[in-house]
């Protein structure tokens, strides 16, 4: 299947070797083989180059002059604007958006995040068990993002449905699966544009204390974002601020219930939780891959990549590269330094990283403080998210002993 011919970047199409649920749950042995055998290889089926080694992935993400984020304008561009542009346009867009999405503004969300976490825990702890994804990891970032943008709480379920479509990959690498995925993404793009356009025009007439109002009003050198650019940034924030954080939280708790000793270590040494969360980002990276396009003929590793060809940089593989990380296949909660690439690198480093970290910094210690023990409920196996580039599980059923207050 030629992915670009039908409007899909190769990062959304399953790779041979990673197509089964078992392989999506544990892609790391595949990554290890690829780093040894073919650290840069061409996949004829997907018509793309796959890049697996840390230094090569880092090189691709760093050198935007050689590896472009702009993809051919085929199919619905759900995540366009900043994420799909190069300088000088990217520089202006990021400056404008950063003026509205400031560190001070993000830090100011802490009390509200604490309130949401407290409410979710109170609602679930007395039951002695929860389906962690549905009961906690999904609602927390959706509520935060919705309130940040100025979206009514009645529409939270819509947010979740749209973010799932943004992250979803093809069921397999057949033409039929690709066409079905393309149809779903086209419909989601139309619905998202229609939804946010109503909010945007309302804020143009009646500004409020929310991010959409700040984006509409923000300017640099007299230039403001166009309507389309504001729409695309809202969609990007929905995806990056929701799906990534949901999977960071879920992957952290998955690791806790895989290793009871880790739970005890973190409860007795809460100062390790922050470094442990960074290790979750490395070990179970929420974003496993991203794509780029060669702007000119370039040599990567021992392979010559021609101008216009697509590359997929495998972040999840880079973060397990034992040439960079000592004991790369082990979870080391106090790992220092930890030069993971979970939020990307270079000019496209994730704008939402501070918000994702803040939510985890508040939620995970609260969860550990509130419980004596967490275990996975017997008989509930793990099912991977249907995505080729987002890493997580669709359900995580846990039982726990609440801590006496």
Domain boundaries along the sequence of the chain: 4-36+44-402
Quote the Cα angle for 62-219-223, to 5°: 85
Residue 76 has pLDDT above 60, yes or no: no
Per residue in 50-68, pLDDT (tens digit) is 999 999 999 999 998 999 8
H or E segment and range at residue 347: none
Contact predicate 50/15, CB 8 Å:
yes
Please report, in angstroms and rounded to a whole number, the separation of the first and last CA atoms in the chain.
57
CA 189 to chain centre: 18
pLDDT above 90 as % of the chain: 54
Task: Measure the CA–CA gap between 34 and 16, rounded to whole angstroms.
Answer: 12
**How high is the pLDDT of residue 3?**
47
CA distance 144 to 101: 14
Average pLDDT over residues 133-162: 87
How far, in Å, are 11, 245, 324 from residue 27 at the CA level? 15, 20, 19
CATH numeric code, 4-36+44-402: 1.10.630.10
pLDDT confidence tier of residue 169, bands split at 50, 70 and 90: low
User: What does each C-alpha distance from 282 to 112, 138, 179, 325 come to in angstroms?
Assistant: 28, 21, 33, 10
Q: Name residues whose C-beta falls within 8 Å of residue 330's C-beta, 6 or more positions apart in sequence.
A: none
> Regarding predicted confidence, which is higher, 234 or 315?
315
Lowest mean pLDDT among 24-33, 112-121, 195-204, 321-330: 195-204
C-alpha torsion sign, points 207, 211, 215, 221: positive
Dihedral sign (CA 162, 192, 231, 234): negative
Please indicate whether residue 283 or residue 88 has the higher confidence score (pLDDT): 283
3 state DSSP class of 352 = coil
pTM above 0.85, yes or no: yes
Q: What's the whole-number mean pLDDT along residues 140-146?
A: 90
**How sure is the predictor about 1, in pLDDT bands with cuts at 50, 70 and 90?**
very low
């Amino acid at each position: 299947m030629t992915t670009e011919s039908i409007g899909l970047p190769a990062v959304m199409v399953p790779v041979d070797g990673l197509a089964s649920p078992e392989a999506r749950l544990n892609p790391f042995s595949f990554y290890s083989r690829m780093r040894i055998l073919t650290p840069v290889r061409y996949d004829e089926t997907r018509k793309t180059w796959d890049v697996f080694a840390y230094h090569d992935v880092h090189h691709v993400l760093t050198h935007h002059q050689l590896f472009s984020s702009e993809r051919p304008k085929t199919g619905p561009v759900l995540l366009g604007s900043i994420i799909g542009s190069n300088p000088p346009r990217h520089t202006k867009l990021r400056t404008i958006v950063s003026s509205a999405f400031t560190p001070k503004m993000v830090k100011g969300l802490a009390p509200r995040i604490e309130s949401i976490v407290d409410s979710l825990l109170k609602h679930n702890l007395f039951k002695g068990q929860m389906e962690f994804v549905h009961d906690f990891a999904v609602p927390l970032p959706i509520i935060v993002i919705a309130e940040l943008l100025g979206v009514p709480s009645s529409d939270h379920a819509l947010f979740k449905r749209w973010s799932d479509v943004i992250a979803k990959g093809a069921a397999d690498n057949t033409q039929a699966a690709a066409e079905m995925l393309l149809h779903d993404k086209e419909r989601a793009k139309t619905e998202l544009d229609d939804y946010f356009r109503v909010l945007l025009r309302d804020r143009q007439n009646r500004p409020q204390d929310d991010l959409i109002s700040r984006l509409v009003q923000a300017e640099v050198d007299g230039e403001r974002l166009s309507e389309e650019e504001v729409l695309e940034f809202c969609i990007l924030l929905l995806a990056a601020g929701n799906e990534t954080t949901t999977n960071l939280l879920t992957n952290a708790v998955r690791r806790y219930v895989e290793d009871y000793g880790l739970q005890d270590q973190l409860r007795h040494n809460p100062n390790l939780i922050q470094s442990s969360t960074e290790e979750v980002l490395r070990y179970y990276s929420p974003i496993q891959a991203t794509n780029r396009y060669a702007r000119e003929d370039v040599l990567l590793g021992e392979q010559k990549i021609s101008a216009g060809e697509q590359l997929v940089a495998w972040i999840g593989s880079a973060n397990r590269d034992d040439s960079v990380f000592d004991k790369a296949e082990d979870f080391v909660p106090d790992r220092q330094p930890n030069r993971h690439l979970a939020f990307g690198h270079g000019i496209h480093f994730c704008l939402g990283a501070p918000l994702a970290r803040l939510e985890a910094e508040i939620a995970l210690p609260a969860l550990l403080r509130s419980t004596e023990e967490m275990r996975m409920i017997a008989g509930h196996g793990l099912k991977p998210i249907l995505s080729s580039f987002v890493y997580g599980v669709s359900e995580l059923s846990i039982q726990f002993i609440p801590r006496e207050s």
